[in-house]
């Protein structure tokens, strides 16, 4: 029974990406979402765009725990000329993660995590900067930070592998809200089913996903990533300046 519960938990994490997030601004504190104080001071924090799981309290809890001294304000904004699409690799927990890609005319809703220097260093570690992602900042006009906040250069993590483009075009995350979306969108479950149909070496989809999880299956994921690399579109944007990676 325990083994079945463990498998169910792992599959839930893989298929539930990018996880539930409040529709409103919030403060991550004590491992959960709290009301964002009206007088919160963001002046000494770096805004970092969260296009995937980093927008969700569940994922922030995995990365930062429930330390009562770890406050992370999370606000919502819009990016103009971009969409949130699937990366050309699989995360160690089985999900196809998200990245940004240019999409003229599209507006996509993104979260912004406001991080201290120490929190930013921790986030770099969890994003495997240098190996999986680069970290950089966008020009001020790329994102509206909302609620009358002044425009600043916001940070973001961009995959080094490129966007997964099985038909030559990136695929958007259906879970992420967008206006005038140009790309086809799929839910995470639909994306995993598609990859299983194309690359699965086990007739049962969930068994195949489980066979790709964890460090012990890193070589299998690397092999899948190599096969996916044949159909990718790289991110190239003059408004984005790489800082690390």
Would you place residue 123 in the very low, low, confident or very high pLDDT band (cuts 50, 70, 90)? Answer: very high
Is residue 2 predicted with pLDDT exceeding 60?
no
Q: Please, what is the average pLDDT of the chain? A: 95
The per-residue pLDDT for 152 is 86
CATH code of the region 2-244: 3.10.490.10
Task: Say which residues have a Cβ less than 8 Å from residue 100's Cβ, sequence separation at least 6.
Answer: 49, 51, 79, 82, 83, 84, 85, 156, 158, 235
Instruction: Determine the straight-line distance between the first and last CA of the chain, rounded to whole angstroms.
Output: 43
Render pLDDT for 31-73 as a digit per residue (tens, 0 to 9). 999 999 988 999 999 999 999 999 999 999 999 998 877 999 9
Name the residue among 142, 126, 149 with its Cα closest to residue 59. Answer: 126
The per-residue pLDDT for 50 is 97
The per-residue pLDDT for 145 is 86
Contacts 24+ apart (CB under 8 A), 127-130: 127/157, 129/157, 129/244, 129/245, 130/244, 130/245
- Characterize the bridge pairing of strands 26-29 and 32-35: antiparallel
Render pLDDT for 195-205 as a digit per residue (tens, 0 to 9). 999 999 999 99
The per-residue pLDDT for 149 is 80
The per-residue pLDDT for 148 is 76
- Characterize the bridge pairing of strands 172-173 and 185-186: parallel
Average pLDDT over every residue of 11-40: 95
Tokens of 130: 């240098």
Nearest-angstrom CA–CA distance, 109 and 144: 10
- Domain limits of the chain? 2-244
The per-residue pLDDT for 121 is 97
């Amino acid at each position: 029974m325990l083994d079945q519960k463990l498998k169910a938990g792992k599959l839930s994490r893989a298929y539930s990406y990018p996880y539930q997030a409040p529709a409103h601004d919030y403060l991550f504190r004590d491992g959960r979402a709290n009301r964002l104080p009206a007088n919160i001071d963001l002046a000494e924090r770096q805004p970092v765009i969260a296009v995937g799981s980093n927008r969700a309290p569940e994922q922030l809890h995995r990365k930062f725990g429930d330390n009562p001294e770890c406050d992370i304000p999370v606000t919502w904004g819009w990016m103009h000329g971009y969409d949130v699409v699937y990366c050309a690799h699989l995360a160690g927990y089985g999900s196809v993660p998200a990245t940004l890609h240019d999409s003229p005319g599209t507006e996509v809703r993104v979260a912004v995590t406001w991080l201290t220097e120490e929190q930013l260093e921790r986030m770099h570690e969890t994003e495997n900067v240098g190996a999986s992602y680069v970290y950089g900042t966008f020009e001020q006009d790329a994102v509206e930070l909302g609620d009358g906040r002044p425009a600043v250069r916001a940070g973001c993590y961009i995959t080094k592998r490129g966007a997964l483009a099985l038909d030559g075009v990136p695929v958007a995350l259906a879970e992420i809200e967008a206006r005038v979306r140009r790309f086809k969108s799929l839910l995470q479950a639909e994306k995993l089913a598609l990859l299983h149909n194309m690359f699965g070496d086990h007739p049962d989809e969930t068994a195949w996903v489980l066979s790709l999880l964890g460090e012990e299956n890193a070589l299998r994921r690397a092999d899948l990533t190599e096969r996916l690399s044949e159909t990718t579109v790289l991110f190239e944007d003059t408004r984005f300046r790489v800082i690390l990676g």
